[in-house]
Structure 1
Amino acid sequence: MKIQSILLLFFTFLTISLFGQDMAEYTSGWEGKIVGSKVFNLKVEIESFGLEKARLKISNSKSIIDYPFDSRSTSILKVPFTENYSFEGVLSENGKEINGFIKSGMLLYHLKLTQSDNNIFVGVWNILMVDELKSLNFYLSVENGAGNEYEAYPIFGDNRFTGTWCDNFQKENDSISFTDFKTGLHFKGKLTADEIQLDIYLGKNSITQVSLKKSTTDWKIGGFNNKNKVSILKLTEMEKLISKDSLPNTHSVLISKKGEIIYENYFDGYNANIPHDLRSASKSISSAIVGIAKDKSLFTNVEQSIFDFLPNKYQTLKDSLKTEIDIQSLLTMSSGIDAIDYGINANPKSSATEQNYQRTPDWIEAILKAPMIHKPNTNANYGSANPALLGVAMDSVISEPLELFIDTFLFQKLKISNYIIQTDLRDKPYFGGGMYLTPKDMLKFGELYLNKGKWQSNRIISKKWVKKSFKNYRNLENVIDKNGYGYLWWHNTYQINGKNIKSIEARGNGGQYIFVIPCLQTVVVITSGNYRNGKTQQPEEIFEKHILPYLEN
């Protein structure tokens, strides 16, 4: 009997060694602690720039990347420092900065590397978007485990990081691995009887390791306080409602009048240094890029057909009606393509909604194959397919990488360097949304349009383009309020003391707003996190009930 027990234990051990654990046993919540608050704030250095033996180094408390490259005789620096990761940048005219992007996952992280005293260019890459983690708690939700099948989703206790989009779940024996295709981070776990040792990688190089145990209590996520505030206005009632969660998930409120910040406040642990996910509010930035390209005569006029800009492989998709889709129709959501979001319960697979075309290997092909429901430039229906096509068009007329054009001719001129651009499947900037900017930089962008294309007396966009952008072309038929719409800018009217106040707005899902109010010479920025609770338009309530009364006085 004793021999049989020993043999049984031996074969059990052998089975586990050969085939690994059943993931059903690991389907649970797991938790651990990150080793330091700045482990994901990575130092980036370029040594010996301009020489044959230059080096790109990335580190936290330890060296992560040390990549040699030849930096001689090139106008655009391109460094593929590890598999699926690269740095691309340009030396400034004064030779003291390198402005560029790290491509990681679906994001282009902008970096400004500044020359130090010992001739090394240095900058910081905040891969989780935050300047420092306020919580070291780390959680892993292992779901749908059966045999070697499972899903795993990392969750940070600091929920100011916008979260991971994980896939490619793999298992071999007692090892699991998966990838966050948004940030590009790679996760590898070692399974034991009561623990998961999880390594977080940049390519094949470990950033940090977290030891995870099964959770026995509820997870503690968010709930951070703020003390930073600049205020000339007294918005006491608004602040009370935010603190009591009556205006939930409000992350920031900023107001400028005649170019001066008169109110700046952050909530839920947010601060001036954290780029916020603008979602579709960055469509208005896409409009600015089209305007800059037009001002530079990179295309003839907004009446040009989109097919004038598309690669040959898409030309077979045009017909007599689709060939009438022009730049202006895309700017005004009037292409006529069926890109209407009908909702979860009734969304035809043939339509060009984001949830449809983003599930295909070729977004542009999927959009162009969608049926036409109107003649171009007649009816307006909000849909991200329209600016998505604009991004392809602009990429075709701009000679340098599109992201470098955006940086050089818009963001550098606005003195904006702390930002991130989401890409499409072509690794090009996605004009449909998803850019990350700090609220103060959102305010700068609003002031640029309030001042008719000038910022700090410098002309960035032509007055003519701004005027066309703010024109109300037609009302959006597929939104509740039937708002007027310009060149990727919303129109709205608010009531205060019996008066109508007109506002031109950049808007993004979850409550990301830039209000430009010409009659009050004011710009208001509100950022939020109301993605799934039906309160995405809460900033309009805050603006009308709590801000406008003070601006009118």
Structure 2
Amino acid sequence: MRIKNLISLLTILFSFSTNAQDMAEYTSGWEGEMENSKLFNLKVEIRNLGFENASFKIFNNKSIIDYPFGSKSTSILEIPFAENHSFKGALSENGKEINGFIKSGMLLYHIKLTQSGNGTFIGVWNLLMVDGLKSLKFYLSVENGSGNNYEAYPILADNRFTGTWCANFQKKNDSISFVDFKTGLKFKGKLLSQKIQLGIYLGDGLVMQTDLKKSISDWRIGGFTTTINNGDLQLTEMESLILKDSLPNTHAVLISKKGSIIYENYFGGYNPQIPHDMRSASKSISSAIVGIAKDKSLFQNVDQSIFEFLPKDYHINKDSLKSKIDIKSLLTMSSGLDAVDFGIKRKSLASEDNYQPTQDWTKTILQAPMINEPNTHANYGSANPYLLGVAMDSIVAEPLEMFMDKNLFQKLGISNYIVQTDMTGRPYFGGGMYLTPRDMMKFGELYLNKGKLFGNQILSENWIQDSFKNYRVLENTNDKNGYGYLWWHYTYQYNGTSIKSKEARGAGGQYIFVLPKLEMVVVITSGNYRNRKTQQPESILEKYILPYIEN
């Protein structure tokens, strides 16, 4: 009996100690190391396509996912390989590749699987968006710990990965778990004395595990160098200023003239293989998708009301003024909705900050009041292109991302890219695509060449002309820029000459400059998100590039 009582007492004490762990004791910075730099460069394989024993596999140095799907269909593949994770793809006409998307978290990762044998297709999924980590250091910031409550944020020493958006923080006894809803990765940790054992999972499959100890020194993040320089143009003054951090956080500068690259350089560890977060610069790609749909006669004209494309449930918000919101007003930021993202003292009811935290973005936007009649005043706001995405999704016969891939990206030879989604899993037309700078340049070249590239008329010349017109001034911008179909207008001065530019622009300094007079495209990517240097690429173009260009 005494032994039984002793065991019961020990069990109670152990249970009390584990349940009573206070997360305040773990509120700190933690660090460990990854096994190798390629753990998140995952191999994706489809075997035995077209047979009952077909399988979908994901692995690094070990198996992570092995999902049998047994489909006899080889045209459209839909493979739900884990909870909240799926692959959707289409076999090419020649049967030699599969183009599709892995849906993981808020992202659609484009994957091209190439045939490597009878019924076998292989590709690579760079889950963290880089082609290999430059540091094996892994950091975890545990914050606001109290009792069972806490927050935890993984941080890589390689800051070329754009970071996690973690939520759903759970604790049970000595175990913690949370999710990055951006990439879809799950994190599970075991709380030990002076240590956290942390595993990172894709569904139920383990990607990697590491032991974390409390940090005793400052974290070292970034500081990488790059030695890629392509082209004959010399821009030594610009390069010197970038390397001295006088033009901070410049990641890439590319210049093409008459279709040939005359300058290409990368900084801070970036290289041609890394897709860059374009932020709102991808709004101009959204405009191209609308143009392709128009060219295919999927809708009649840009004067059609947005309510012609919306489910009946949303028509409750329709009134005599809102019914005038048409495709053209959304393309030109002149819907009249109270959807201004910046530049005014009050917070707009349909700004990104207001509609993105809600469960139904469309409903929130349409419930906002009108501040102007449509097509009269322009104010920049992401709700406008977001509604365009809802409209395009309603008229294409296939998933919108597949339509985009088949009709734009494949024709431009672009396969290494990522699409951010909204809450429904639909491509977010308000911004957030990831393209490599070289592919951003291809997109700029498409517009410079009036919709034609590689001998193909991908967009009609009429759509390009309409896109580049100056419809009205963006009233909430400091420079009072002119604006086209989701393309900015600006004029630069150098050597006594005025140069007009049509621009795709994104927060942090993501720019595609199309300069028709010079037959030139310039791409600059940056990381200036919180230091008020978003417009730094404009200064780089005017002061350190244009003076060195021969007309």
Q: TM-score range by the shorter chain?
A: over 0.9
How far is 1:494 from its partner? 0.3
Map of 1:84 onto structure 2: 84
Q: Matches of 1:163 and 1:206 in 2, distance apart?
A: 20
Q: Which amino acid aligns with 2:365?
A: I
How far is 1:20 from its partner? 4.3
How far is 1:342 from its partner? 4.8
Map of 2:3 onto structure 1: none
Q: Which amino acid aligns with 2:442?
A: K
* Residues 53, 69 of structure 1: 8 Å contact kept: yes
Map of 1:198 onto structure 2: 198
Map of 1:309 onto structure 2: 309
Q: In the TM superposition, what whole-angstrom CA distance separates every residue of 1:145-190 from its partner, at most 9, and x where no partner exists?
A: 0000000000001000000000000000110000000000000000
* Residues 200, 209 of structure 1: 8 Å contact kept: yes
* Residues 233, 263 of structure 2: 8 Å contact kept: yes
SS of residue paired to 2:79: strand
1:166 and 2:143 are equivalent in the alignment: no
* Residues 343, 477 of structure 2: 8 Å contact kept: no
Q: How does 1:202-351 map to 2 (within 5 A)?
A: 202-342=202-342, 346-348=346-348, 351=349
Match of 1:525 among 523, 533, 550: 523
What is the count of residue pairs matched by the alignment?
A: 545
Q: In the TM superposition, what whole-angstrom CA distance separates every residue of 1:370-425 from its partner, at most 9, and x where no partner exists?
A: 11000000000000000000000000000001000000000000000000000001
SS of residue paired to 1:216: coil
Match of 1:428 among 423, 426, 429: 426
* Residues 115, 122 of structure 2: 8 Å contact kept: yes
Map of 2:412 onto structure 1: 414
Map of 1:68 onto structure 2: 68
Map of 1:482 onto structure 2: 480
Map of 1:3 onto structure 2: none
1:544 and 2:546 are equivalent in the alignment: no
SS of residue paired to 2:207: strand
**CA spacing shift, 1:216–1:9, aligned 2, 3 Å:** farther
SS of residue paired to 2:248: coil
Structure 2 portions without partners, runs of 5+: 1-6
**CA spacing shift, 1:85–1:15, aligned 2, 3 Å:** same
* Residues 49, 74 of structure 2: 8 Å contact kept: no
Q: Matches of 1:168 and 1:435 in 2, distance apart?
A: 25
How far is 1:71 from its partner? 2.3
Structure 1 portions without partners, runs of 5+: 1-5
Q: Matches of 1:384 and 1:543 in 2, distance apart?
A: 26
Q: Matches of 1:321 and 1:345 in 2, distance apart?
A: 25
Q: Matches of 2:299 and 2:344 in 1, distance apart?
A: 38
**CA spacing shift, 1:345–1:135, aligned 2, 3 Å:** farther
Map of 2:50 onto structure 1: 50
Q: Which amino acid aligns with 1:404?
A: M
Q: Matches of 2:265 and 2:43 in 1, distance apart?
A: 29
Q: Matches of 2:210 and 2:261 in 1, distance apart?
A: 42
Q: Which amino acid aligns with 1:447?
A: E
* Residues 74, 91 of structure 2: 8 Å contact kept: no
Q: Which amino acid aligns with 1:226?
A: T
SS of residue paired to 1:227: coil
Q: Matches of 2:117 and 2:73 in 1, distance apart?
A: 23
* Residues 186, 201 of structure 1: 8 Å contact kept: yes
Q: In the TM superposition, what whole-angstrom CA distance separates every residue of 1:479-538 from its partner, at most 9, and x where no partner exists?
A: 110000000000000001111100000000000000000000000000000000000000
Map of 2:146 onto structure 1: 146
How far is 1:231 from its partner? 2.5
Q: Which amino acid aligns with 2:294?
A: K
Q: Which amino acid aligns with 1:402?
A: L
Q: Matches of 2:104 and 2:58 in 1, distance apart?
A: 13
How far is 1:344 from its partner? 10
* Residues 24, 145 of structure 2: 8 Å contact kept: yes
Map of 1:535 onto structure 2: 533
* Residues 341, 382 of structure 2: 8 Å contact kept: no
Map of 2:4 onto structure 1: none
Map of 2:461 onto structure 1: 463
Map of 1:366 onto structure 2: 364
Q: Which amino acid aligns with 1:383?
A: G
Q: Which amino acid aligns with 2:183?
A: T
Map of 1:387 onto structure 2: 385
* Residues 20, 172 of structure 1: 8 Å contact kept: no
Q: Matches of 1:210 and 1:190 in 2, distance apart?
A: 11
How far is 1:227 from its partner? 1.1
Q: Which amino acid aligns with 1:526?
A: I
How far is 1:12 from its partner? 5.5
How far is 1:74 from its partner? 5.4
Identity, in percent, stands at 72
**CA spacing shift, 1:141–1:345, aligned 2, 3 Å:** farther
Q: Matches of 2:488 and 2:496 in 1, distance apart?
A: 22
* Residues 255, 522 of structure 2: 8 Å contact kept: yes
Q: In the TM superposition, what whole-angstrom CA distance separates every residue of 1:77-110 from its partner, at most 9, and x where no partner exists?
A: 1000011100000000110000000000000000
Q: In the TM superposition, what whole-angstrom CA distance separates every residue of 1:261-294 from its partner, at most 9, and x where no partner exists?
A: 0100000000000000000000000000000000
How far is 1:70 from its partner? 2.3
Q: Matches of 2:342 and 2:106 in 1, distance apart?
A: 27
SS of residue paired to 2:304: coil
